[in-house]
Structure 1
Amino acid sequence: MTDSYPFLSPSDDFITSRESAEGPLLMPKTSSLDDTIEHYIGDFGWKQFLRTILISIAWAFDGQQSFISIFTDAEPTWHCVSTPQNQNNSTCSSNSTLSSVCVLPKDAWSWDASPYTSTISEWSLQCAGSFLTGLPASSFFIGSLAGGFLLATLADSSLGRKNLLVLSCLIMSLSGILTALVSTNVWIYAALRFLTGFGRATINTCALVLSTELVGKRWRAQVGIIGFVFFTLGFLSLPLIGYLNRGSSWRLLYIWTCVPPIFHCILVHLYVSESPRWLYVRGRKEEFIKTLKGLAAREKPNLTSSFFGTIMGFEENIEDGPNFDFYSTMKTFWERKWAFRRLMAVMAIGFGTGMVYYGMPLGLGSLSFNLYLSVSLNALAEFPSSLITFLLVGKLNRKELVLGFAMASGICSIICAFYSKWKALQISLEMFSFFSACTAFNVLLIYTLELFPTCVRNSALSMVRQAVVLGGAFSPVLVAVGRNTKGLLSYGVFGVTIAVSGLFVGCLPETKGDEICDTLEEEEQKEIMAARSVHGLV
């Protein structure tokens, strides 16, 4: 009679912890939860692949809402109108900037397309100033900041990764639909963009953390990059949707991009499992065991509640699980200086990266280049960025990658600001700067996952996203101010900021090849051992 579980035969790597009605329960000798989960779900089968894809699709919807204002709030083109009253008016020139129409008679010019194609033309914001024209986009990022502070720690505490992902997608999609239906002026529009940003604040972090915690450590970095690819697809879909709806109301873009996420939420709720790591840390035994069974690529021995406590030997201590909220999490970071130092450093890098990552596409209207083509080229630049991240993240140190691409982005952005006469060179420099910022951003997210333990990982990643979004919140105003300088001011500031922020990697430890920890105590012990090793004490 053959063994039902030949791959779990007793060996040097496993011990029989106790007998049960079903037979012996084989346990890993290691006390690491990471190794235990790797043993049960380390294989990457079709079931895990499909779940990963389903989770990562949320990135695409977030990408659409992050950059949709490129088209909905675009600076519309206009032309001079020849009438008997202004035939002799030589002041009208269609080559002038949009602000020039403010000094022209109303009958001397007209929009090239319907005024409903852009919020600027529909509500006559062409003379309203940079603050008001940039307010909706800035409101979106400010809403993301508020949502991040209020929602982020729910993924580590009461709701979990999966439920918060569903909730965030629903808030984002429903508020986007309301934006199309009830926006009658720029103030209502900005308020609804704030609500949309509030909802999307935790989509990327929940999707990234959930997808990487549902697979073994061998596939963690690769699975994280799948999300980046879907974000790119969402970004890339915008110029296509915008082009197909050119001449139509800007409201249609919100309808097309906000209805599909509702159906996605239903699928995630039905077919995606909660993170076993989170369930374990929260002390939810039965759900942990059930999830671990469901994620196993092959049939595994029956798991019992006793298995839960035997993994790491502190069953009684985690019965109720840690109870984190935003304030307790920040207090935890503050009390542990190593954690606070790491958090501040990655947030500083995130701020500079976010200013370029979100600001570059928003500023494309300032360049003398076709908007649909330039947005498409920028979106396409994210594909090689994801590929480069995929190829290099396993070979080079995290610190080297973040610093190198941050400096490359900064230098190209600064040069781009001063070469406005050569269109081809300018758009090439802009694309390479954006590509480098994307790659630095991708690596930074993976780096952050490895720097913090499971119990605060989602919160730490959310704080980094907050810093990225804060940088993005400054971008629309800089872009609006820079329109009259053909991008000189905005792109110059972008370049200096990301280059300086990249230097903060010097405050961080290298994590390439290290196992991730689940508790703050484990991470702190690893930090102490690393410090002793540096000083030759071990």
Structure 2
Amino acid sequence: MSDIEDSDVDEYDELSELRQKQQQFQKAPDSQTSVDEAFDLDDLLPTIGEFGKYQKLLVFGICLPACIPCGFCAFNQLFMADTPDDYWCRVPELLDLPLEQRKTLAIPKELENDELVYSKCLTYGVNWTQLLDSGEVDDLTMMEPNSSWPLVKCSQGWEYNTSIVWSSIVIDFDLVCDQDIYPTIGLAALNTGGPVGVYLFGLLNDRAGRRLSYFTCLATLLAGSLMTSLSKDFWTWAGSRVIVGLTIPAVYQIPFIISLELVGENYRSFVTVMTCTFYTSGIMLLSVVTYLERDWVRLSYITSLPFYAYFLYMFVMPESPRWLLMRGRLEEALKILERMATVNGRQFPEAVHLKLEAQIRRDKLKKQKKKVANVGLMDLCRTPNMRLKTILITLSWFANETVYLGLSYYGPSLGTNQYVSFFLSAVVELPSYLCCWYFMDTWGRRWPLSLSMILGGVACVITVMLPDDAVDETLVLYLISKALLSASFLIIYPFAGELYPTQVRGIGIGASSYIGGLGLIVIPFVTYLGKENLKLPLVIMGFVSMLGGMTGLRLPETLHHRLPQTIEEGEEFGKNWQFKDCCSCAKKPDVMSQPPSYENLDVLAGSSNTASEVELELRDSRRVRDPAPRIDERTPLDTSSGSGVRPVHRPSMKRLVRQMSIMDTQRTHDGTMQLTHWI
């Protein structure tokens, strides 16, 4: 024992423990506690490898590259709908004249920013064909426009200054003047498909498996992109964007979910941050591609055709073992798990085989599902504290997601070069992710979330104080706001997951994310206001961000607290909130947690902690030392009864959960991860 304690690298001999527990399991065949308990894959991962070679190949070879098509297809539309700086009414009868002469003759001038410029949407209502045929004018080059001529709207199309933007749907489909809102409608159409796609592919994900769902989603994305490239009118193009929108963000969330399900809990933060980093890197790459390719049709091909190679993942992408176990497909699940153990250089424990085989035999005999508490959306609003927290979480989510995407859309409109501005708007996200990852584990979740949203909103609002010619200063403030909103965007998801009780976590996150997704349909129309006033959208988004940040201050801190398991615990968690709580960050624990690969957590329900259970909970051998004082992780429900009264622990509160920035996706009651409308 002393050798084990003195060694820093030797690990607990889990195989010996498993064999002992296997013998105990065989000696207690009458005990039904372990038999009735569902197998938890998270218990097995420390034995066969939490983040070994298999998971690294999966994450870096499949999950992270899957982020690139999502970013490409979500933002390439901004550059397909470029509007030239200058355009004017087309007059076919005057096309033989030099450009300046026909503009002088056919286009009236109007005052714009204290300067006379040619009108973009009006022309003189003169019948040039009749005028030329009548012989009244011998030489048009000597003719001067008459101020008494009537003014009419352009009816025969437009001519465009193509020195900078020479190909876009705006030019091909004449989306200017009365139709200049059409590109905004197309952007809203893209975002309309997102919630629908998450629901549809979520159903397919749960019923047909991750692999089929992913490749169906990828095929839908590529079909919509191909339809985009072949569109000959606006409404066909807009319809194709709805099809593309169906796959965003599902096209990268499905492999992301597979990766999260196969890595240990302590590595899910890393996987999530790396996913955000690759997603941002894809947007940075898109800015380079759009700079090099200005033809919108070819741009559509370039940002979609390379991803046909992703169908090669059919030969290497595994099905989710968690989903296979849920479906009772034991042999397939075991094959994947054994391959994972082999690649990671680990030995697959026999005790797992016994438990899974016993579980499958039991399921075949019973042929009925376990009874699960029937909870729904109304349970989030049934009690006052849970109702208030649900409203506040949803408001913060709505503000955060809406403003973040709005700033992403608005980047090309600022600065002197839209490609550089778009590139910088993506670059500033990378340091914000790293800083956010650190601060949310030291300061907690609430203050970093609220401060980043409030300060980001302030940076947007104060742009109104700058003069119109302060282009660079406006861009700098925009980039500061974008960096802060990116940090808060990374916090809101895990923070909401920690606030919602386990019993309704999936429902709560799903509801908040869907309502937040509605803002994505509205935000393109906010950025459209920038055509008249460049700073107006920034001011609007700034106030929305500040409002969302202030609502977050009312939420309770979750760092170093045990997460609520039931709705009753969720109601008690943060119930005694006081105004002074806004002024404090998360309290540091008295003793820092040990950094083993897997935390051996106490079993709350005493009746279930029998010698016959085959538990795959690994213990760090260094814990044999003298016990250290424990961190107080009690929820208000545990302490509300006062001292001297033993708190009641329910069977549903089986395990304590100590979070370390674990950024999960929503789950069902059996632990299966689901899609969420979260870009």
With structure 2 as the length reference, what TM-score do the two structures score? 0.66
Alignment of 1:319-468 (within 5 A): 332-335=376-379, 337=381, 344-419=391-466, 420-450=468-498, 461=509, 463-468=511-516
Amino acid at match of 2:301: I
In the other structure, the counterpart of 1:483 is 531
Cα deviation, 1:136-162, whole Å, max 9, x if unaligned, reads 10100011122233333443x313444
In the other structure, the counterpart of 1:122 is 172
Query: 2:83·2:165 contact (CA, 8 Å) conserved in 1?
Result: no
Alignment of 1:53-92 (within 5 A): 53=60, 54-78=62-86, 82-87=99-104, 91=109
Amino acid at match of 1:223: V
Query: 1:166·1:265 contact (CA, 8 Å) conserved in 2?
Result: yes
Bigger proportion of residues as helix: 1
**Deviation at residue 426 of structure 1 after TM alignment:** 0.8
Q: How has the CA–CA distance of structure 1 residues 34 and 456 changed in structure 2, closer, same or farther, with 3 Å as cutoff? A: farther
In the other structure, the counterpart of 1:24 is none
Cα deviation, 1:187-233, whole Å, max 9, x if unaligned, reads 11111111110122423443443322210011111111111011102
Pairing partner for 1:176 from 201, 213, 225: 225
Alignment of 1:300-311 (within 5 A): 300-302=348-350, 305-308=353-356
The separation in 1 between residues aligned to 2:323 and 2:84, in whole angstroms, is 48
In the other structure, the counterpart of 1:191 is 239
The separation in 1 between residues aligned to 2:165 and 2:470, in whole angstroms, is 31
Percent identity at matched positions? 20
The separation in 2 between residues aligned to 1:98 and 1:119, in whole angstroms, is 25
In the other structure, the counterpart of 1:166 is 215
The separation in 2 between residues aligned to 1:56 and 1:244, in whole angstroms, is 24
Pairing partner for 1:144 from 194, 207, 218: 194
The separation in 1 between residues aligned to 2:324 and 2:518, in whole angstroms, is 31
The separation in 2 between residues aligned to 1:114 and 1:423, in whole angstroms, is 19
In the other structure, the counterpart of 1:52 is 59
Q: How has the CA–CA distance of structure 1 residues 75 and 341 changed in structure 2, closer, same or farther, with 3 Å as cutoff? A: same
Amino acid at match of 1:254: S
Cα deviation, 1:243-295, whole Å, max 9, x if unaligned, reads 1112xx2011211111233322431x332333344444454444443333333
The separation in 2 between residues aligned to 1:531 and 1:286, in whole angstroms, is 44
Structure 1 range deviating more: 314-323 or 415-424: 314-323
Cα deviation, 1:91-140, whole Å, max 9, x if unaligned, reads 37998899941135779963224876111121111113453231110100
With structure 1 as the length reference, what TM-score do the two structures score? 0.81
Amino acid at match of 1:102: C
Amino acid at match of 2:269: A
Amino acid at match of 2:478: E
Q: How has the CA–CA distance of structure 1 residues 352 and 364 changed in structure 2, closer, same or farther, with 3 Å as cutoff? A: same
For the residue of structure 2 that corresponds to 1:307, the secondary structure is helix
Amino acid at match of 1:444: I
In the other structure, the counterpart of 1:23 is none
Query: 2:70·2:248 contact (CA, 8 Å) conserved in 1?
Result: yes
Amino acid at match of 1:392: F
Amino acid at match of 1:37: L
Pairing partner for 2:299 from 244, 249, 253: 253
* Aligned residues between the structures: 512
Query: 1:359·1:476 contact (CA, 8 Å) conserved in 2?
Result: yes
In structure 2, the gaps of 5 or more residues are 1-10, 28-33, 89-97, 125-153, 573-633, 648-679
The separation in 2 between residues aligned to 1:498 and 1:382, in whole angstroms, is 17
For the residue of structure 1 that corresponds to 2:120, the secondary structure is helix
Cα deviation, 1:320-339, whole Å, max 9, x if unaligned, reads 66899xxx99x623335588
The separation in 2 between residues aligned to 1:226 and 1:448, in whole angstroms, is 20
**Deviation at residue 71 of structure 1 after TM alignment:** 0.8
Query: 2:45·2:262 contact (CA, 8 Å) conserved in 1?
Result: no
Amino acid at match of 1:359: G
In the other structure, the counterpart of 1:231 is 279
Mapped pair 1:495 → 2:539: no
In the other structure, the counterpart of 2:266 is 218
Query: 1:245·1:252 contact (CA, 8 Å) conserved in 2?
Result: yes
The separation in 2 between residues aligned to 1:359 and 1:336, in whole angstroms, is 29
The separation in 1 between residues aligned to 2:363 and 2:266, in whole angstroms, is 27
In the other structure, the counterpart of 1:103 is 122
Query: 1:153·1:459 contact (CA, 8 Å) conserved in 2?
Result: no
In structure 1, the gaps of 5 or more residues are 21-26
In the other structure, the counterpart of 2:618 is none
The separation in 2 between residues aligned to 1:165 and 1:90, in whole angstroms, is 55
Pairing partner for 2:337 from 292, 303, 312: 292
Query: 2:324·2:333 contact (CA, 8 Å) conserved in 1?
Result: yes
The separation in 1 between residues aligned to 2:304 and 2:503, in whole angstroms, is 32
**Deviation at residue 63 of structure 1 after TM alignment:** 1.2
Query: 1:398·1:443 contact (CA, 8 Å) conserved in 2?
Result: yes
The separation in 2 between residues aligned to 1:399 and 1:332, in whole angstroms, is 26
The separation in 1 between residues aligned to 2:538 and 2:281, in whole angstroms, is 25
Cα deviation, 1:18-50, whole Å, max 9, x if unaligned, reads 469xxxxxx9xx998365134234432222112
The separation in 1 between residues aligned to 2:252 and 2:116, in whole angstroms, is 37
Q: How has the CA–CA distance of structure 1 residues 35 and 199 changed in structure 2, closer, same or farther, with 3 Å as cutoff? A: closer
Query: 2:111·2:117 contact (CA, 8 Å) conserved in 1?
Result: no
**Deviation at residue 501 of structure 1 after TM alignment:** 2.0
Structure 1 range deviating more: 52-61 or 343-352: 343-352
In the other structure, the counterpart of 1:15 is 21
Amino acid at match of 2:481: S
For the residue of structure 2 that corresponds to 1:117, the secondary structure is coil
Q: How has the CA–CA distance of structure 1 residues 144 and 163 changed in structure 2, closer, same or farther, with 3 Å as cutoff? A: same
**Deviation at residue 378 of structure 1 after TM alignment:** 0.4
**Deviation at residue 496 of structure 1 after TM alignment:** 1.3
**Deviation at residue 349 of structure 1 after TM alignment:** 2.1
Cα deviation, 1:466-506, whole Å, max 9, x if unaligned, reads 344322221211111221111x2211111111221234435
